[in-house]
A and B are shown apart, each in its own frame.
Chain A
Amino acid sequence: MEYYLCNLVLKGAGGTADHLVAGPWYINGAWPNTFDLGVVPAGGYDGISVDLGLPPALNQTNALPPAMEHVNMAWPIPMGGGYHFMKFEGHFLLQGQPTGFAMHLGKDQNLVHCELSQPFTVGIDQGKLALVFNLNEVFRDPHTYDLSTGNQSMGSDSLMALLRDNCSNAFTFQFLP
């Protein structure tokens, strides 16, 4: 499981300014994924928004530094260039037989936007924002995603649109003061 997050916005409550941390962050299910968000203004927030994927300016071939994790996320030039936003791979049982699936998401129009309304207050000390990707949701909300017909998404704009919509409802967060 690998993906990028970017454009984390903490929504200022009661007319105070939003706070943007642009990222991007590369997330790997096999790694510890903790990032420093820098100094966040203390005060009340209405919630957050975050995008899964890369902004168009970075979704270009070789736009990210050539670190191994980024080069392995490349979206090939003949398919439009840029990067995979997400690689979610595994096996499912199809008529009792373990069968592979590779849900790969990319292309600018499939940048996933997640709005998470949930008030929290940032104090003056260190705080933690724990973001959770609920993988079950990728298969069911708002669309039912049927692996037996959609096991490989990369070459299919319609499957990627399903993934984009479902991923936008798949995140929750918790603020730990």
Chain B
Amino acid sequence: MRSRAALLGIAVAAMAVWAGCRKDPAAEMPDPCAFPATPFQLDYHAFFPDPVIPADNPMTVEGIELGRRLYYDPLLSSSGPLAGKSCSSCHFQEHAFTVPDPGVPAIGNTNVMSHCNLAWATHFLWDGSAGPTLEDVMRYEVEEFFRLDVGVLRNHPEYPELFRKAFGTCEVTLPLVEKAMAQWFRRLTSANSKFDRFLKNEEALSPGEWRGFQLFFTEAGDCFHCHSMPLMTDNGFHNIGLDSVFAGQGVGRYAVTGNPMDLGAFKTPTLRNIALTAPYMHDGRFQTLEEVVDFYSAGAKHSPSLDPIMTKPGTGITLGMTAQQKADLVAFLHTLTDEAFVTDTALASPF
């Protein structure tokens, strides 16, 4: 609608020129909705891949601020089944945007996922059913999960002005809600952990962390093939042998692809900030990192779709680590915590 109005405006202005300076004052009226939003330059690690930022949703300071406010505002759920909740009810900044309470996953037994470096993700949710862009997963979150009635934002005393500043329009629509939230999610970058500072030669690892690093990034632990640098995820799906029979939610990626080799395969979670995001795995079955490492050491189970990487040299599927090795690996996992990310006031609630 707006672009047609603008085109008409140009046509009228052009006619005015031909008619010889008989200017039409209406054609010169500035668009009352226009607003020059401030471009935002996303800052990230030199060794991170370039994130995909859709051409029709460039990041702006105003767009991110709007997305942030929507994320923290329970108004977003007021028209749907989750009334009273905001995104931040299940995604807490101090826990890298997951739920703190161990043992109480938020939806049935589906574990809450971290919101960290999702600008680089191409599949979302444990089974990868949303994507490939953040705008796509926001459509799911806003329209299907929260069932937002956009009227509550349209009739709000402040939101229309915030949308105008972010997008230069007097309209408030679901696609714009989703664009603003996608911009906010791209802003949630984490790359300042002790491990990052170690890689930049700014900080040393303790002896135990150093041994854990060696285990993680060699065949001894073989974690790196899936939790690969620098995002600490390969953005892939794997069956790591948590179960040997699969039903219900446990079928994982198979629910999307129908491929039997995807049975029990789930999205590789980033290990950035992992010490803050208990409980662990898609169903939150492990409460501590020690339990996770015990699983990788001795608990993996066979099934035809078990990821090839989980078969270790000699065709066994367990690592058989010593108590010392397990402690070292856990110490290394703790170096992936980015304190700045979880305390940055620019990422906290604006309310």
B-facing residues in A88-132 (Cβ within 8 Å):
89-91, 94, 97-102
Chain B CB within 10 Å, residue with most, of A62, A67, A76, A156: A76
By a CB distance below 8 angstroms, the chain A residues around B228 are 71-72, 74
Nearest opposing residue in chain A for B317, CB measure: A100
Instruction: Check B214–A66 contact: CB distance below 8 A.
Output: no
Which of B8-16, B251-259, B301-309 lines the interface with chain A?
B301-309
Given A76-B218, A78-B218, does the pair A99, B315 have CB atoms closer than 8 Å?
A: yes
Picked from A62, A90, A102, A148, the residue with its CB within 8 Å of the CB of B47 is A62
Question: Given A71-B230, A72-B228, A74-B228, is A151 in contact with B311 using a C-beta cutoff of 8 Å?
Answer: yes
Task: Find the residue from A67, A71, A149 having the highest chain B CB count within 10 A.
Answer: A71
Q: A residues within 8 A CB of B97?
A: none
A156 vs B314: C-alpha distance when bound (angstroms): 12
> Are B308 and A102 touching (Cβ within 8 A)?
yes
Q: Does B229 contact A (CB under 8 A)?
A: yes
Q: Which of A68, A74, A91, A149 contacts B308 (CB 8 A)?
A: A91
Residue from A78, A89, A148 within 8 A of B214 (CB atoms): A78
A79 contacts chain B at the CB level, 8 A cutoff: yes
Q: Is B146 an interface residue (CB 8 A)?
A: no
Q: Kindly provide the distance from the CB of B224 to the nearest chain A CB, expressed in whole angstroms.
A: 5
- Which of A66, A101, A155 is the one whose CB lies under 8 Å from B50? A66
B159 nearest CB across to chain A (Å)? 36
B306 touches A100 (CB 8 A): yes
Min CB–CB distance B53 → chain A (angstroms) = 15
| Residue from the list B46, B217, B236, B307 in contact with A100, Cβ < 8 A | B307
B312 within 8 Å of A (CB atoms): yes
Distance A94 CA – B304 CA, assembled complex (angstroms): 12
Closest Cβ neighbor of A152 among chain B residues? B313
The docked-state distance in angstroms from the alpha carbon of A152 to that of B219 is: 9
Q: Is the interface of B mostly helix, strand, loop or mixed?
A: loop
In the bound complex, residues from chain B placing their C-beta under 8 Å from that of A91 are 304, 308
Range, interface on chain A: 20 to 34
User: What chain A residues lie within 8 Å of B213 (beta carbons)?
Assistant: 78
Contact B224 A76 (CB under 8 A): yes
The 8 A CB mask of A145-168 against B (1 = contact, 0 = none) is 000110110111000000000000
- A77 CB within 8 Å of chain B: yes
Give chain B residues whose Cβ lies under 8 Å from the Cβ of A101: 308, 311
A102 contacts which chain B residues (CB < 8 A)? 225, 308-309, 311
Closest chain B CB from A110 CB (angstroms): 16
- Inside 8 A of B47's CB, which chain A residues have their CB? 62, 66, 71
Within A54-84, the residues touching B (CB, 8 Å) are 62, 66-68, 71-72, 74, 76-79
Given contacts A66-B47, A67-B49, A152-B219, contact A97 B313 (CB under 8 A): no
Q: Closest chain B residue to A148 by CB distance?
A: B315
> With the chains together, A140 CA to B228 CA distance in Å?
32
Chain A residues whose CB sits within 8 angstroms of the CB of B161 once the complex forms: none
Residues of B within 8 A of A148 (CB): 315
CB distance from B223 to the nearest CB of A (A): 10
Per the bound structure, the CA–CA distance linking A115 and B327 in Å amounts to: 49
Interface size on B, residues (CB 8 A): 32
Q: Are A99 and B311 in contact, with the CB atoms below 8 A?
A: yes
Which residues, 222 to 254 on B, are CB-close (under 8 Å) to A? 224-225, 228-231, 234-236
**Cross-chain contact of B218 among A89, A155, A156 (Cβ < 8 A):** A155
CA A148 – CA B231 in complex, angstroms?
33
Q: Are B309 and A94 in contact (CB under 8 A)?
A: no
A156's contact among B120, B224, B313, by CB below 8 Å, is which? B313
Bound CA–CA A67/B224 (angstroms): 17
B310, CB-defined interface residue at 8 Å:
yes
B48 CB–A CB distance under 8 Å: yes
- When distances are taken between beta carbons in the complex, the residues of chain B under 8 Å from A89 are 308-309
Q: Are A77 and B217 in contact (CB under 8 A)?
A: yes
Closest B residue to A102 using CB positions: B308
A71 in contact with B229 (CB, 8 Å):
yes
Do B49 and A71 have beta carbons less than 8 Å apart?
yes
- How far apart sit A87 and B221, CA to CA, in the bound complex (Å)? 18
CB-CB under 8 A from B308, the residues of chain A are: 89-91, 100-102
Q: Is the CB of B311 within 8 A of A79?
A: no
**Chain B proximity of A146: nearest CB distance (Å):** 11
Distance to closest chain B CB from A82 (angstroms): 13
Q: Which residues of A contact B304 (CB under 8 A)?
A: 91, 98
Alpha-carbon separation in the docked complex, A152 to B218 (Å): 12
Contact sample, A vs B, 5 pairs, CB 8 Å cutoff: A68-B235, A71-B231, A79-B219, A149-B314, A152-B219
**Interface, chain A (partner B; CB < 8 A):** 62, 66-68, 71-72, 74, 76-79, 89-91, 94, 97-102, 148-149, 151-152, 154-156
Which B residues form the contact surface with A (CB < 8 A)?
46-50, 120, 213-214, 217-219, 224-225, 228-231, 234-236, 302, 304, 306-315
